Amino acid sequence: MAKKEETSGVPKKNWKDSVKTSLIMTMSLLVAVPLIISIIVSYTSSMSKGLEDAEYINSKQSQIVEEAFLAQIQQQIRTIEAVAYSPFTIDYVKNAEARDDDSMVAFLTKANLIYNDGNAIVVSDSTGQQLARDDGAKLSNVAEREYFQEAIGGNSYISEIMVSKATGARIIVPAVPVFDHDYTTPIGVVQRSYDLSDLHTLLKDNITSNQRAFITDRNGIVIAHSDYEINADDAEDNRSDRDFFKLAQSNSAGTYETGKGNDKQIVSYRQEPSTGWIVVVSSNYNATLASAKKSAYFTVLIGVIMVVVAIIASFKMANSFTGPLNEVNKALHHLSEGEFVPIEQFQGRKDEFGDMITNTNSVLDVLSGIVKNIKDSALSVHESSVELADAASQISQTADDVSNAVQEIASGATQQADEIQSVTESVGDIDVATGNVQTSTDELSGIANRMQEVSTESAQSLADLQESSRNMSDNIIQISEKIGATSKAVENINEKVEGIASIATQTNLLSLNASIEAARAGEAGKGFAVVAEEIGKLAEDSRQMADDIRKEMDILLEESQAAVGMASEVQKGNDEQQEVLGATVQSVNAMIDDISSTVESAKSIEKDAGTCVSAKNVVSDAMSSLSAISEENAASSEETGASMQELSATVTTLSASAGSLKEIADKLSADMEFFK
């Protein structure tokens, strides 16, 4: 409950205007923005690198498939070229009369042994008539076939897809010319069929589980597919409308992405220049980039954790900065309302904030003690001034009584001098008058003694009050020194804030230089330019935060200076009080001296009255001296009257000083009522 009452009077700041919010936002952004940018760049780079690697692997896979396919085709072409370039074959085709068919068949069989796939090697003459084949099948004329026409023109050629009449399988026919011995004039053709069903096995053996591959001819017709075998009676699969076929018309090799979602594919194609066939290998995009995505997601997760840790650290750092400031602000707020509430938290800190907390508590303790002493002194002054005023009133009343009595004595002495001739008859009256004088003199002496005692007590009280006032001045000086120490701590904090602002300015310059260098780097520096721009913004935020802290420190410095001003006002009032007390002490001392004189005069009157009583029996014999005694009594009475007038004036001054002192004490008490 006490804690709630302690903080309930402190005005709440809008969270948007709080230094704590600025610190948290700035520190979080300083860490989070570069980290997020790094995460994005890392994620993008990982995915780009993964995609680049996948495309490279896919392209290499298509190259491997193409090379494997070409290896088989080229092996067949080399085989039939070896047959076509053999002098035995040239002589067999050129010299019809000297042909040895059995030797040729044996020769072809031997050349075809390495394949053992049921496809025959066939030799034809320049008219297209088949002359020999190693399988012994019926010979026919192939002059109308495209592959024969191309080969007899002097070019090695691979035919379009066709169906073998012998086996019923889908085949292609590589054909090479047989040149005369001059190796320039075509005189025949050597051919060998290639069963396309072998390509299905080749494709299947050269790809991974998340890939598929197929080969099309130069017209876009699918020749072989890794997922299934294509039979002679299957419908023609024409893919000339696909992107790979269109791209292959301008680029012999390439890689691109197609499809969406789970059907998204990375497609690589290569067109074999000799046949015009296109080898296509496609990989599932998601399966291929699964490991890259996993690595990228892990990087993002680590980045998110780091961002969370950075935000938590920002909260802790902001609390370590704003906590002491809030506590000092609360203490100053309570002080502005006249309450001395010490700071209980953060007293164990060893940094500048800990020093500020310690100095603030010291100022509050010293100021609280001084205010208590001032209150006590003001109360004591008030009570003493009341007592002094009462004593002055009593002294004034007594002085009036004494003055009246002295006037009566003076009047009697004058009458005594005038009626000296009738002294004898008036001896009785003289005896009565002398008795009255003695009684009045006794009363005057007692009153004077009481006045002397009261004045002495008043002088002692005023001296104690003057000493208390001096102690209060010393305490006020200590307050000023403590507040000065607080101001020095605030100035030290301001210097460090200036350092933060300077660092922020230098960081901003570095960001500007980095932006310039990034601009010079062109496209490669765009990402770094974004980071440099964000760093520049964060540096500006840091500078703004430093300005905010400096403003708060300036407010604290102004509050400290206001406290110094208040202490100066109190000291000024105390100095005025000391001056009044000094004047009052002087007046009281003078009054004491006057009262001493009054006591002496009263004793003298008492002595004279005794003399009158002693001499009343010899009045007749001392008539001559009676006149002198009467004159002496008149002079003494006049002197006593003058002393009493001076005493009355002194008492009046003392009463006025006591009233002034009471007003000062009342004013000081009223001022001290501000402090609880």
Strands 174-179 and 211-216: unpaired
Q: Is the pLDDT of residue 141 over 90?
A: yes
Of the candidates 349, 550, 574, 344, the residue with the CA atom closest to the CA atom of residue 479: 574
**Average pLDDT estimate for 568-594:** 72
Are 534 and 508 in contact, with CB atoms under 8 Å apart? Answer: no
116 Rama class: left (phi>0) / alpha (psi -120 to 50) / beta: left
Residue 289, both tokens = 């980039």
How confident is the model at residue 2, as a pLDDT?
43
Q: Would the pLDDT of 8 be above 60? A: no
- Is 3 or 266 the better-scoring residue by pLDDT? 266
How far is the CA of 315 from the CAs of 308, 310, 347, 350, 442, in angstroms?
A: 11, 9, 21, 20, 88
Instruction: Assess whether pLDDT exceeds 60 at residue 615.
Output: no
DSSP state of 128: S
With a cut of 70, say whether residue 395 has pLDDT above it: yes
Token code pair at residue 352: 């500048």
User: Taking the CA atoms of the chain, what radius of gyration do you get in angstroms?
Assistant: 64
Q: How does DSSP classify residue 525?
A: G
Q: Residue 230: CB partners within 8 Å, gap ≥ 6?
A: 170, 196, 197, 200, 222, 223, 224, 237
Mean pLDDT calculated for residue range 593-617: 67
What number is the average pLDDT over the span 273-293? 81
Please state the pTM of the whole predicted model: 0.42
- Rounded CA-CA distance 105/88 in Å is 12
Nearest to 541 by CA among 314, 285, 374: 314
* The pLDDT of residue 399: 67
pLDDT value of position 361: 84
- Greater model confidence, 423 or 589: 589
Q: Which residues contact 461 (CB under 8 A, 6 or more apart)?
A: 380, 384, 387, 388
Banded pLDDT at 559 (limits 50, 70, 90) = confident
Share of the chain above pLDDT 90, in %: 11
Structure confidence at residue 612 (pLDDT): 59
Q: Is the pLDDT of residue 4 over 50?
A: no
CATH topology of domain 338-463+588-675: Helix Hairpins (1.10.287)
pLDDT at 603: 72
List pLDDT tens digits, range 521-539: 777 777 767 777 777 777 7
pLDDT tens per residue, range 323-348: 777 778 877 877 877 787 888 877 77
DSSP secondary structure code for residue 621 in this structure:
T
* Weakest mean pLDDT among 316-320, 414-418, 613-617: 613-617
Contact 257, 317 (CB under 8 A): no
Model pLDDT for residues 481-534, shown as the tens digit of each residue: 777 777 777 677 777 777 777 887 887 787 778 778 777 777 777 776 777 777
- What is the model's pLDDT at position 186? 95
Q: Note the pLDDT of residue 624.
A: 60
Sheet holding 157-158, edge to edge: 130-133, 121-125, 186-192, 174-179, 157-158
pLDDT of residue 179: 95
Is the distance from CB of 264 to CB of 51 less than 8 angstroms? no
Out of 3.30.450.20, 3.40.50.720, 3.40.50.1220, 3.40.1010.10, the CATH code matching 48-291 is 3.30.450.20
Highest mean pLDDT among 22-36, 266-280, 436-450: 266-280
Return the structure tokens found at 214: 């197929």
**Containing H/E element for 98?**
none
Give CA–CA dist 573/208, Å, rounded.
99
Cβ atoms within 10 Å of 363's Cβ, excluding its own: 26
Tokens representing 633 are 């009594």
Residue 547, pLDDT > 90, answer no
Mean predicted confidence (pLDDT) in 30-52:
77
Span 580-584, average pLDDT: 70
Tell me the mean pLDDT in the region 374-385: 76
Backbone φ and ψ of 177, nearest 5°: -75, 150
Closest by alpha carbon to 277, among 66, 74, 71? 66
Name the pLDDT band for 626 (thresholds 50, 70, 90): low
pLDDT of residue 142: 92
Fold of the CATH domain 477-587: Helix Hairpins (1.10.287)
Residue 429 backbone phi and psi in degrees, to 5 = -65, -35
pLDDT score, position 1: 40
Task: Report the range of poorest mean pLDDT among 61-75, 80-94, 138-152, 186-200.
Answer: 61-75
Per-residue pLDDT reduced to its tens digit, 177-227: 999 988 899 999 999 988 877 788 888 888 888 888 898 988 888 888 888
Contact (Cβ atoms closer than 8 angstroms) between residue 488 and residue 560: no
Cβ proximity of 536 and 515 under 8 Å: yes
Q: Which of 181, 188, 67, 69 is nearest to 123 (CA)?
A: 188
Q: What is the mean pLDDT of the chain?
A: 78
The whole-number average pLDDT for the span 245-255 is 89
User: Among residues of the chain, what percentage have pLDDT more than 70?
Assistant: 79
Q: How many residues does the chain have?
A: 676
pLDDT at 89 (0 to 100) = 93
- What is the rounded CA–CA span in Å between residue 267 and residue 528? 33
- Checking if the pLDDT of 277 tops 80, the result is yes
Element (H, E) at 122: strand 121-125
**Does the pLDDT at position 7 exceed 60?**
no
* 16-49 per-residue burial string, b: 16 or more CB within 10 A, e: under 16: eebbbebbbbbbbbbbbbebbbebeebbeebeee
pLDDT bracket for residue 644 (50, 70, 90):
low
| Distances, alpha carbon 440 to alpha carbons 200, 409, 443, in Å | 155, 10, 5
Q: What's the confidence (pLDDT) of residue 608? A: 66
Residue 448 has pLDDT above 70, yes or no: no
Check: CB of residue 619 under 8 Å from CB of residue 423. yes
Q: What is the pLDDT of residue 400?
A: 73
Q: What is the pLDDT, as a whole number, of residue 80? A: 93
Give the CA count within 13 Å in the CB-facing half-sphere of 655. Answer: 14
Cα separation values, 282 from 51, 54, 254, 458, 648, Å: 13, 11, 12, 116, 128
Average confidence (pLDDT) over 31-39? 79
